[in-house]
Amino acid sequence: MDKTTTSNNGRLLELLNIELGMLGQIRALMEKQTEFLLDDDTEAFDALLDKKDEIIRKIKGLHQETAPLMQSYISSNNSNEKIDGLKAKLKKEVAFCAELNMRHVADMNDKSEELSKELEEKRSKREGIGGYVQAVPVTSEKFDNKA
């Protein structure tokens, strides 16, 4: 392995470790989001979405430097246990976060359906009360008559 390849692999390892750390932060935020979702704390849930988006932007920035180094590593046909191990950890972490995200979306859809049903029931009750109120005569003689 030449000096450039060693240097590139060292930088790639560094960047992959940074990315793994950021994915760990995303995972922690998503686990906290699960708690907020269970507690119906949508404001806190949304605040964590903003933090997660910020980390994702940073990861995308890392990819601008990582992509050519990864291409170089793959095309060199040299194997590096550390790089391969980090790639496997990254895949696992991304898969976990994607699964957790899918659960969040499903949970939010369920909650949305529940809220829609509750609103529909309240609307139906309101309409039922409205029909009753319209059927009741509101003439003053009914209330003025003290028989």
Q: What is the pLDDT of residue 110?
A: 87
86 is written with which tokens? 């980090």
Which residue in 95, 16, 21 sits closest to 63, CA to CA? 16
Q: What is the pLDDT of residue 42?
A: 85
pLDDT tens, per residue, the chain with 147 residues: 678 778 889 999 999 999 999 999 999 999 999 999 888 888 998 899 999 999 999 999 999 999 999 999 988 888 889 999 999 999 999 999 999 999 999 988 888 888 888 888 888 777 766 666 666 565 555 555 555
68 is written with which tokens? 């050519």
Q: Give the single-character DSSP code of 136.
A: S
Q: What pTM does this model have?
A: 0.73
Distance in angstroms (rounded) separating the CA atoms of residues 87 and 135 = 72
